[in-house]
Structures are given as C-alpha cells and as structure tokens.
Structure 1
Amino acid sequence: MAKKKSGGWLESAKTILYAGLIAIGIRTIAFEPFNIPSGSMIPTLLVGDYLFVSKFSYGYSRYSMPFGPNLFSGRILGRVPERGDVAVFKLPRDPSQDYIKRIIGLPGDRIQVRGGILQINGQAVKREPIGTYLAEDRESRIPTREYKETLPGGRVHDIIEQSDDMPLDNTQEYRVPDGHVFAMGDNRDNSLDSRVQSGVGFIPIENLVGRAEFIFFSIDGNRASWWEIWAWPMAVRWDRLFSAVR
C-alpha cells in the first residue's frame, strides 16, 4: 500500500508539472492574457478589460518568455508591426512594466502633433468628429470629444480628446530610429506614451510582447471586482466579451 500511495503522489506531481509546462509553452509561443489597469486607451480599451495578446505576431524575443531571461538578443522570426496595431510592450526604461498602446510610427517615420492633429511624415492624419464621449476615470465621468482617425494605409480607429490645447497636443517632430516604433494612447490627452521621451520614448522592436487580439472578459470596477461572481450580472460589460481589438 505504501508503494501505491507513493506512486500516486508521483503521478500527481508529474501531472502538475506537465500542466505547468504546457501553460508556459502556450503563454510563450501562442497567447498571453493581460488586463487593462488605466484609461490611456479609451475608447478602444476600458479599465477592467481582459484580453488575449498573440505572441507570434511579431516573432519572439527574450520578452516573450516569463520574466524575460537574457538568453538572446533581437527577435526570432521577427516582423515589424503594422501601423495601427494595438500592442503590448515592455517599458524601455523599466522592462518589468507592461504597457499597451497603438503603434503610430514605424522605423524612419517623422511623427508630430500640432493643435491636436497627428502628423505623419509631414502629412496631417484625417480626423472626423463623432460626438461627445463620457470617459469614466475611476469615480468621475469626464466629457471629451470623440473622433474617427484614419491612419496612412487605411486603418481606422476612434480616439478621444479633452481639447486640442493640452500639453501633448503640440510636440516637437520625432524621427523614429531604425529598430524602433512610436506608440500613442487613443485617449490622447491622458496617455504616457512615446511623445514623452523621458517616460516612454521610442520603443525597441525587441521590447514588443505581442498584438492585442480580442477581449475575453470585461468588468466595471466601480460596480464589482472580477472575483465577485454574484455581482457579475450588473458589473460585467457583456457587449464587450469576445470582441476584437481594432
């Protein structure tokens, strides 16, 4: 009986180990879940959204693996993002932090914001007004203006602006270095992004973790926490479940 009991524990340990290795493998090469803790990507992503990021979209770097071990440099099967992708990346000045923003500038691009209007390679990006958007920021609701922005290449997404005269609405011209991209939040007046060179700056392509694909869960944190299952009927944003990130 003692041998059988010992064998049972060994089999259980093996099962747990195999399950853990499979989970790490999926997380490394396929998909990784992330949650949205801030409003910098409103209206595309809301606080309380949970989404899957595809790890294979841009190839693999050290940051594709848990804890980012320094095993190699550069990317394996690397691909440059498309303009307009919503991507997760490791903050250049602190790789322990994950950020999510929209890729606006590619290597060699010239990026500037003038009067709230995005300029790419000297051309103003088309921006069409949609109406008023009430951006929820923790306990307050801030009225903003919502626009539809069309990037070169035809990618269309929504952005919000409180005004066109905020600190990041008039910037210098940034030239994106080789091997880097330039990212901005869709909540243009409330986003720490590549426009702030001392905070985020240009993002090395090596630091890209993956592309945001779809939202699998979303909950209004002002109503309940994710673990308060009894509150889900009123707190879960049912219309956002399994919606693609665009």
Structure 2
Amino acid sequence: MEDMIKEGIKQNLKGMCFTEHTDLDFPGNNFTFLADLDAYEKTFLQLKEKYRSQIKLYFGLEVGLQPHLKEEIPALCTSRNFDFLIGSTHVADCLDPYDNAFFENRTETQAYQRYFEVLLKNLQTYSCFDTCGHIDYVVRYGPSKNVHYCYKNHADILDEILKTLIDKGIGLECNTAGFKYGLGQPHPSTEILKRYKELGGELLTLGSDAHAPCHIAYDFQKASDLLKACGFRYYTIFKERKSECIPL
C-alpha cells in the first residue's frame, strides 16, 4: 500500500482511494478473494496519518456480487466505515470469465449476454454500494475480446442495466483498465458511456483498477478526453459514502 501511495504522490495526485477486493463464496479451490479487513483498515489508517500532509487517502472496498449472498453482502458493506464501495460482478454461473470454461459450449455473444443477465440480477438484488464496477468486464477475457463486441448486440439488457443504476442512484464506473488490457477503450465501452449519458446518467466514477503502482491513474487523461466527448463534464468521488462532483 505504501508503494502505491508514493507513486500517487509522485504523480501529484490530490487524492487516492484504495479499494481492496473481497469476493465472498468465490468458486474454485485455487485461491480466495477474501481481504483481511482488520489488517487492511489498520494499515490504511497508519498510512493515512503518515502521509496526511501530502495526499488525501480514502478507504474503500470492491465487493464481488452474487445473487445468493443477500445477507452477507449488505453486512460486509456496513462492516467498516468505508468512504467508497464498488459493486462488481466477477462470477456468473459459478465461473469467473477469467476462466476459459465460462466460454465453453457458448458463442462469444451468448457468453457476454449471460454475464449481463447475471449483472442485472445483482443490480436488482443490491443497493448497498456506490458505483458499479467495469460492467463489461467479461469482454477482457472473451476469445476475441471486443473485436465483435458492440452495444447494439446487447442493447436491450445494457439499457436495462443502465436504467437500473440511474433509478437506484448508483454510479457507473469508467475503468481505464480496458486500455491496459489492450481493448482500446475503457470499461464500459464508449458506446455504453454515451448511452448512459443519453438515458440521463450523470453519476460517473473514474478508476484505474491499479493492481501495481505503475498502473495508478492509468490513461486518465485519455479517459477524461473521451468522457468530455461523450458529454460528461464531471466525475464523482465519495467521502464517507457521500458523493462530490469534480470537473473533468
């Protein structure tokens, strides 16, 4: 964590939010996504105090959503004094699309559609987080990634996802890891960002999904230019779960 903070200071960032990742009931036996929240919070508070004169630090969590965890996920979201919570769908049909098995016996389009169906079910089930993470995450790992992927192939369900976010007052994340993964676009794609704006969406968060210091604020300038071209003028940050708009 300290290396990440030092890189943020080096980049002259005014603030940075940590969003350690917890995915309850993650499938498979190879590894788990369960953050040690006690250690995470303790270390965060120590570093927040140490660097308080150089950068503002915020305490967040990325929560993996699954429809059957109706009691566990809301309890997790209120278990600490978080500044910011991302709700992300990493698992559909007991598989993470990172695993090639998710795409077996399905066309790529069918696999993407199924992921969106599960994501929508998660959004209909939960309202306990601030923004929805990388809504087309599945595309990172598709056989041809985004070569044949476009908004119009999934327009009905994507519109329902975006409308659900707007109706619930939950933000949409613009995640620049799409650039890092060679997609040439953020998550979600430019078409979806434009559609969100057309539908009246304004609550937009910006994240780099940085798993290493070298990816902090990755391609943020490119994302800023893209978002302005889509009609956005602000992005949103959260402090103590309260939103604040910042000019792009």
The alignment's TM-score, normalised by the length of structure 2, stands at: 0.22
TM-score normalised according to structure 1 size: 0.22
Higher Cα radius of gyration: 1
Structure number with higher relative contact order (C-alpha < 8 Å, ≥ 6 residues apart): 1
* Structure showing the higher strand proportion among its residues: 1
